Amino acid sequence: MIDQTPPDLNGGVKILHDPVRNKGTAYTEAERDALKLRGLLPPRVHSMAEQELRVLGNIRAKPTDLERYLYLIALQDRNENLFYRVIMNHLEEMMPIIYTPTVGKACQEFQHIYRKPRGFYLSLQDRGRVKEIMQNWPHKDVRIIVVTDGERILGLGDLGADGMGIPIGKLALYTACAGIHPTQCMPLMLDVGTDNEKLLNDPLYNGLERRRVRGREYDELFDEFVTAAKELFPGVLIQIEDFGNTNAFRLLDQYRGNTCLFNDDIQGTGAVAVAGVVAAMRITGDKLSGQRILFLGAGEAGIGIANVFVAALREEGMSEDEARRRCWFVDSKGLLVAGRGSIAAHKEPYAHEHEYIADFADAVKALKPTAILGLSGQPGTFTRAIIEAMANVNVRPIIFALSNPTSQAECTAEQAYTWSEGRAIFASGSPFDPVKLGNRVFVPGQGNNAYIFPGVGLGVIVSRSRIVTDDMFLAAARSLASQVTEADLERGRVYPALSNIRQVSALIAKDVAKMAYDNGFTDREEPEDILADIHKYMYQPVYPHYA
Ligand code: NAD
């Protein structure tokens, strides 16, 4: 007879299966006795550093980045402290795996690689009982929620519920780059259906089998979620992420005044790109007020950047109208000009009086911009002719190909440097390897939002600010630009090394928190030393002692 009694899962086994408390082979002899772990682990006690070596060996032996991603997610599910130690000690190597570009591939394959639930799902079926359901989340001190509805995942379009990889990845960066405690982070997917035929026809798709809803039903679900989040987790910061652009602008406008909420695609991208332009001024010796930017793509990212750029020019004394005239847009319908037909509200301020031009290359010739910024999700659109035209009218043309993932970038780093004979100041959204041209080596900067959102979030969370303002993003941009070293600039890089990111985030957080204290956005008393207060909060991936 087989004994049918269920196994006792409450002994040492339980702690080994809890990713927050699990230390694997690093439990000490005393802990093994106290926690009833004897026999459940191999006898040798390893240090965390030795465990890190084992993990690195495994990751590096994997044949593809997607395999590396799967390995890392499995580690995150098993032992969170070790996962963050590996990520933080090897950020430049790991970031492209846990975030763009690999996370994009993971989202595209999500229904096939799915193993274990991670993050929280709310769907249309949950309307009316969202608050009750959200209480199923195991952690009660949630300080930040990253929420997506999967409609515009990176530059990859509608991936429905399979977009869950994005909030998971973003929150891993909050922890790694700014020390937000992992148990205070909640990745959340609002499943409102998908218009992606391939997913709807795939029997393994994990989301609702229905087309996207819009209008009242959508708004009610979103509002129910925000209300429940605020009630269950008072003061929680909500980051809306990878929404389609109609909902993104609308929801931001609707909620930002009375909810601690921001949109990284609009505001975070705005700050990181403007920081790159500000730092580029230190190479060209020009002023921001002398810049004319031509954007390819007038969506969340493009308009978000223009809005922060206008705020920066206004801070320097320029009128709003004049500042807006420094920003020009070509979108899928050509040059954005007044009278071009019906123009979405977020683009309206940038529809200038000018003759209509259909083509981006012709717009470059006509407008002679000092900078072109690609945020169209259309690869190969910064052609050789366009980069040569930029190099003809600028000694140091600013060329940022910011579309993600790498496959969608408007041009590669090598193309930008080669076609401009090494004069381009180049940055991209996803990382590119250094480029050798003659005897010079160029290190392209990555205009990665991870330089901005973790620091802004950290400042908001620690100061307990009730709102997130545009001025906080401008302050973050200026702080980031000021942290680019002369050595970075010499190598052509307009962003600091990623390895300094914890320090970058802490300094951004200091400026953001200061704004919250100065403007009365918080009831918390200003600490004597804001930076020390921030450092005190920041999570470090070390094992606690249990005996
Ligand atoms: P979006 O959907 O809101 O906007 C896309 C824009 O591109 C629209 O204005 C559309 O009209 C335009 N467009 C599409 N095809 C075009 C074409 N052939 N020619 C000219 N314009 C065209 O998307 P978004 O949120 O603005 O993101 C756009 C891209 O920027 C994505 O690839 C995203 O990954 C990237 N992005 C990068 C960063 C970063 O590097 N830090 C941050 C955010 C977004």
How many Å apart are CA 248 and CA 410, to the nearest integer? 23
- Integer-rounded Cα radius of gyration of the chain: 24
Question: Which one from 23, 105, 170, 510 is the annotated catalytic residue?
Answer: 170
Give the distance, in angstroms, between the CA of residue 166 and the centroid of all CA atoms in the same chain: 8
The tokens for 543 are 């094992």
Which residue out of 272, 331, 336, 348 has the highest number of ligand 1 atoms within 8 Å of its CB and is therefore the one to mutate? 331
| Residue 230 annotated in active site | no
For ligand 1, say whether the CB of 107 is within 6 Å of any of its atoms: no
**What is the β-pairing status of strands 435-437 and 440-442?**
antiparallel
For ligand 1, say whether the CB of 151 is within 6 Å of any of its atoms: no
**Ligand 1 atom with least separation from CA of 405:** 34
For ligand 1, say whether the CB of 447 is within 6 Å of any of its atoms: yes
The tokens for 526 are 């200003």
b/e 373-401 (16+ beta carbons within 10 angstroms → b): bbbbbbbebbeeebbebbbeebebbbbbb
CA nearest neighbour of 496 among 546, 459, 443? 443
Which residue out of 332, 340, 449 has the highest number of ligand 1 atoms within 8 Å of its CB and is therefore the one to mutate? 332
pLDDT tens digits, one per residue of 110-159: 988 888 889 999 999 999 999 999 999 999 999 999 999 999 998 889 99
Determine the pLDDT at residue 8: 67
Contact 134, 122 (CB under 8 A): yes
Domains and CATH numbers, the chain: 13-98 (1.20.1370.30), 267-447 (3.40.50.720)
For ligand 1, say whether the CB of 264 is within 6 Å of any of its atoms: no
| Strand intervals (E) in 6-164 | 120-123, 144-148
pLDDT tens digits, one per residue of 433-467: 999 999 999 999 999 899 999 999 999 999 999 99
Determine the pLDDT at residue 430: 86
Determine the pLDDT at residue 304: 96
In this structure, how many other beta carbons lie within 10 angstroms of the beta carbon of residue 451? 29
**Ligand 1 atom with least separation from CA of 273:** 41
Residue 9 pLDDT level (bands cut at 50, 70, 90) = low
Handedness of CA 156, 84, 77, 262 (dihedral sign): negative
pLDDT tens digits, one per residue of 209-228: 999 999 999 999 999 999 99
In a 3-state reduction of DSSP, which class is residue 536? Answer: helix
For ligand 1, say whether the CB of 375 is within 6 Å of any of its atoms: yes
Scan for tokens 């992606």, then name that residue.
Answer: 196
Contacts by 41-45 with C-beta closer than 8 Å and gap 24+? 41/16
pLDDT tens digits, one per residue of 338-371: 999 889 999 999 999 999 999 999 999 999 999 9
pLDDT tens digits, one per residue of 315-327: 999 999 999 999 9
Ligand 1 centroid to 274 CA: how many Å? 16
For ligand 1, say whether the CB of 330 is within 6 Å of any of its atoms: yes
Query: What is the pTM assigned to this prediction?
Result: 0.93
In this predicted structure, the answer to whether residue 7 has a pLDDT above a threshold of 70 is no
| Residue 69 annotated in active site | no
The tokens for 502 are 């914890």
- First-to-last alpha carbon distance for the chain, in angstroms, is 40
How high does pLDDT run on average in the chain?
A: 95
In a 3-state reduction of DSSP, which class is residue 17? Answer: coil
In this predicted structure, the answer to whether residue 2 has a pLDDT above a threshold of 90 is no
In this predicted structure, the answer to whether residue 513 has a pLDDT above a threshold of 70 is yes
Give the distance, in angstroms, between the CA of residue 133 and the centroid of all CA atoms in the same chain: 27
In this predicted structure, the answer to whether residue 258 has a pLDDT above a threshold of 80 is yes
- Residue by residue, DSSP assigns 187-222 as EEEEE-----HHHHT-TT--S-SSPPP-THHHHHHH
